[in-house]
Amino acid sequence: MNELNKHFQPKNFSDKVALSFTKFLRLLADTFFKKRYGHRAVVLETVAAVPGMVAGMLLHLKSLRKIEDDKGWIKTLLDEAENERMHLMTFIHVAKPTTLERFIIMVAQFIFIVTYAIIYLISQRTAHRIVGYFEEEAVISYTEYLNELEAGTIPDQPAPLIAINYWNLPLHATLKDVVRVIRDDEAGHRDVNHKFADLINLKKSKLAYKKNKAREKSVEEKSADKILN
């Protein structure tokens, strides 16, 4: 549980923006879905599958444009998007989405694709941090879902066949087993995206340090020239 409860403390303005944005969306989800976890998962997993695909596409185009290696980021992000899509495919069998929820899915996905693409173009670090915080909230939500299932508040049921095949679960697996493996997936995505944000932050710090050292060297050289002349 210690690994599941990990939280990245915001260290700068970018992190605070990412956390605030995430908390706002969490409030909307809690207000609309309350404890209808299956229906919440259907809608939110539709949105959760967007960042990996959008980021992967933008990095793919950047790699082509700059003719440089992506260091494995593209595949990691596209795998994340596919994994989130399978979460959605699973929960469609658990909670049949209503007409209203299907409409919300269409609108939410369109808005989030545009919004996330803009954020990623402006600040990749903030974009990955947002996803890291999204996944933190997903871990919390799935833990609450699992608690309700274990307490019997929400009836358990056989795991959908698509989930059994995708995660190689036993044939007698139930919804509780599915929620556990999905929660583990979300914890993994959380760690990856926070790590990506940290790497981008480190790269920016190194560039800033090099620029500062170059500036200091230039000033010293100019001062030496004045003395000699």
Is residue 112 predicted with pLDDT exceeding 70?
Answer: yes
* Residue 129 to residue 58: CA distance in whole angstroms: 17
HSE-CB at 47 with a 13 A cutoff on CA atoms is: 25
Mean pLDDT of 77-84: 96
What is residue 211's predicted lDDT score, i.e. its pLDDT? 59
pTM of the model: 0.84
Is residue 214 predicted with pLDDT exceeding 70?
Answer: no
Residue 69: both structure tokens together: 């290696």
Sign of the C-alpha dihedral, residues 197, 192, 49, 2? negative
DSSP assigned state of 12: S
Q: What does pLDDT average to over the chain? A: 86
Q: pLDDT for 151-191, tens place per residue?
A: 999 999 999 999 999 999 999 999 999 999 999 999 999 99
Given pLDDT bands bounded at 50, 70 and 90, which one contains residue 46? confident
* Residue 154 to residue 40: CA distance in whole angstroms: 14
What is residue 126's predicted lDDT score, i.e. its pLDDT? 94
- Taking a C-beta distance cutoff of 8 angstroms, is the pair 104, 93 a contact? no
Mean pLDDT of 51-74: 94
* Residue 134 to residue 229: CA distance in whole angstroms: 60
Backbone angles phi, psi at 158, to 5 degrees: -60, 145
3-state secondary structure at position 14:
helix
